[in-house]
Amino acid sequence: MAQTPQDDALHEECAVFGVSLARHEEAAGVAYAGLLSLQHRGQEGAGIAVVSENNIICRKGEGLASELFPDGVLAGLPKGRTAVGHTLYSKAGGSEKKTAGPFVQEYLTGRIVAALSGSITNADEIRRELTDCGLQFDTSSDGEVVTSLIAYHISQERDLLSGAAKAAGMLEGAFSIVIASGSDKVAAVRDPNGFRPLCLGRSEAGAAVASESCALDSCGFEFVRDVRPGEVVIIENGKITEQGVKLEKRMEAGHGLCIFEFVYFARADSIIDGLSVYNARQRMGRVLAEEYPADADVVCGAPDTGLDAANGYSAESGIPLVSGFVRNQYIGRSFIYPTQIQRESAVRLKLNPLSASIGGKRVVFVDDSIVRGTTTETTVKSLKAAGAKEVHVRISSPPVRYTCYYGTNIDREENLIANKTGLDGIRRKIGADSLGFISIAGLKRACGECRLQFCTACYVKRSDT
Contact status, residue 118 vs residue 168, Cβ threshold 8 Å: no
The answer to whether 38 and 212 have CB atoms below 8 angstroms apart is yes
Taking the CA atoms of the chain, what radius of gyration do you get in angstroms?
A: 22
Active site residue 14: yes
Task: Give the distance between the most distant pair of CA atoms in the chain.
Answer: 72
Phi, psi of 384 (to 5 degrees): -70, -35
Is the separation of the CB atoms in 95 and 124 below 8 Å? Answer: no
d(CA 365, CA 17): 35
Dihedral Cα 285, 290, 293, 297, nearest 10 deg: 50
Q: Is 112 exposed, middle or buried (0-12, 13-18, 19+ CB in 10 A)?
A: buried
By three-state DSSP, how is residue 205 classified? Answer: coil
Residues 6+ apart with CB under 8 A from 322: 298, 299, 300, 354, 357, 358
| Cis, peptide link before residue 399, omega less than 30° from 0 | no
Q: Are 462 and 254 in contact (CB under 8 A)?
A: yes
E-strand spans in 170-318? Answer: 173-181, 185-190, 199-202, 206-210, 222-226, 231-236, 239-246, 257-258, 271-272, 275-276, 298-301
Bridge pairing between strands 271-272 and 275-276:
antiparallel
Check 14, 258, 447, 458 and give the catalytic one.
14
d(CA 207, CA 62) in angstroms, rounded, equals 28
* 44 secondary structure, DSSP code: S
Q: With contact defined as beta carbons under 8 Å apart, do 14 and 40 qualify? A: no
What residue type is 172 in one-letter code? Answer: E
Q: β-strand 390-395 against 222-226: which pairing, if any?
A: unpaired
CA distance 17 to 34: 6
Task: List the catalytic residues.
Answer: 14
